[in-house]
Amino acid sequence: MPRTARDVVFVDGVRTPFGKAGPKGLYAETRADDLVVRAIRELIRRNPSLPPERVDEVAIAATTQIGDQGLTIGRSAAVLAGLPKSVPGYAIDRMCAGAMTAVTTTGAGIAFGSYDVVIAGGVEHMGRHPMGEGVDPNPRFLADKLVDPSALVMGSTAENLHDRFPEITKERADAYAVRSQNKLAAAYEAGRIQPDLVPTAIRSVEKGYGLATEDEPPRPGTTVEDLAKLKTPFRVHGNVTAGNAAGLNDGATACLLAAEDVARELGLTPRMRLVDYSFAGVEPEVMGVGPVPATEKLLARNSMTMDDIGLIEINEAFAVQVLAFLEHFKIADDDPRVNPWGGAIAVGHPLASSGVRLMNQLSRLFEERTDVRYGITTMCVGMGMGGTVLWENVNWEGAK
């Protein structure tokens, strides 16, 4: 039977406030699965016209799929969130692009006709599960010289990028990081970040129960002079510091996707339309350049150039990685299209959850920027990959 691909829309997205990983962080004594359950429940609460039994799939990503991030977390979180037992779920791992892959995979399923409505997201509790916990890399990676030894240390891959692009100096990276902090602070002040945040219960044996209502990582008021004093832990006299890189963080995200006709049927209001997506591989030791070929492939397939893209939400794993992307596409370091409300250097990067944070932020920007038709969400991925998703603004004034 012939099939016609359906349009896929991003209806809504939420996230927990992001916390700092470690024994003093917001979520030090809070379970990872409880974070993503909170996000799923909030999605259902915010969209009362959606019967929970109409959710066809729950795809949740986690980089470290053990402990309270294991047990096929998409299914276990769906059950814990109170969705009907008829709603299936599964887990995804594409490191930092986990939630992004949850969206593209289930979105493709909607386009194909296998699903009508899905929930996709990610969670990472880096305090409970540090990156690489329980991993046993095959010795042939190094013995057969398949990758450079630095490929398995993300901070070292960022230093490698500085080597490859000597024009991206530490001073440029620090200046970019300060702008990220300032933009996030301004967005908070204007109340633009808060609508995506789900107040989340936290517990502490010592302090009892509390409520997380805002992100913990931001450092408003950071200056270039402050960052110049920080140590370079990945290389003596290096360029990468805790100030020009995303930190180690805990948090969860979730979003609601639907076929456009089903969204109308159920009274759901789309925020943006999924146009296309692309993933690409690069040398693992310079994984930060991954967004470049992923974006090139995507633009070429759609007969577009970067001039057609009005908003760019790029994950700030490291400032140098963002700057390498901008350098390649001849975009200024302070181009207003890029992360207008700040990025992961300021707000945090709980690995597998971050892709949906980028989408949440882009969808909010689309609501304000009806003059913009297309935007992208893009990110680098550990082990040498990049991913980019192309979105269309449903509120674009040119369509009216």
Largest interatomic CA distance in the chain: 65
The b-or-e profile of 6-27 (16+ CB within 10 A means b, else e) is: bbbbbbbbbbbbbbbbeeebbb
CA distance linking residue 135 with residue 121, whole number of Å: 23
CA distance linking residue 126 with residue 301, whole number of Å: 36
**55-to-81, 108, 267, 341 alpha-carbon distances in Å:** 13, 15, 14, 31
Which one from 96, 129, 162, 255 is the annotated catalytic residue? 96
Decide if 255 is catalytic: no
Decide if 380 is catalytic: yes
Decide if 129 is catalytic: no
Nearest to 11 by CA among 266, 193, 189: 266
Which one from 129, 162, 255, 380 is the annotated catalytic residue? 380
- Residues marked active site are found at 96, 349, 380
